[in-house]
Amino acid sequence: MSYKNLEIWILANELVVEIHEMSLGLPKHEMYEEGSQIRKSSKNVKATIVEGYGRKIYKPEFLKFLIYSRASNDETRDHLENLFNTRSLTNNNLYQSLHNKIDLLGMKIKNYYEWVHLHYIPSL
C-alpha cells in the first residue's frame, strides 16, 4: 500500500490544490503574507503525512508525524479564518467549503492517529 491510498493524504492533496487556487485570487498584498502562509501550511499537512508514512516501521515516529500533520492542519484553518475575518477572502461559499474540508481532514487525521496508536503493528 502507498500513502497515496490514505484518505487523509487524498483529502490533504485536494486541499493543497483548492487552497493554492483560492490564494491566487487574494489581494496582491496577501499573496506574500497570509496567502504564502496558508499555502505553506496546507502543503505541510500533506508532506508530514507522507513523512510519517515513510517512518511507519517506527510506530512512535509515525504517530509523531501524524501529530505534526494535525497541527499544520490547525494552522491552515487559522490562516483561512484570518483571511476571511480581514475580508481578504470575501467568497463565503468558498470559505465555508474550505473550512469544512479542513475540519473533516483534522477529524480524519485524529481518527487515523487513534487507529495507528491502538492497532498498528509495524513490520519491515
pLDDT score, position 18: 98
DSSP class per residue in 53-84 = HHTTTSHHHHHHHHHHHHHHHHHHHHHHHHHH
Q: How deeply is 11 buried, as exposed, middle or buried, from its count of CB atoms within 10 A (0-12, 13-18, 19+)?
A: buried
Residue 36's pLDDT band (cuts 50, 70, 90): very high
Angle at 98 between CA 47 and CA 86, to 5 degrees: 105
In a domain, 45, yes or no: yes
Q: What is the mean pLDDT of the chain?
A: 96
Domain that holds residue 83: 3-119
Question: 32 in a domain, yes or no?
Answer: yes
pTM score above 0.85: yes
Determine, yes or no, domain membership for 50. yes
- Residue 124 maps to a domain: no
CATH number at residue 89: 1.20.1440.60
- Looking at the structure of the chain, the number of domains it has is 1
Distance CA 26, CA 57 (A): 41
Q: What's the pLDDT score for residue 51?
A: 97
* Tens digit of each residue's pLDDT (9 = 90 or more) over 66-122: 999 999 999 999 999 999 999 999 999 999 999 999 999 999 999 999 999 999 999
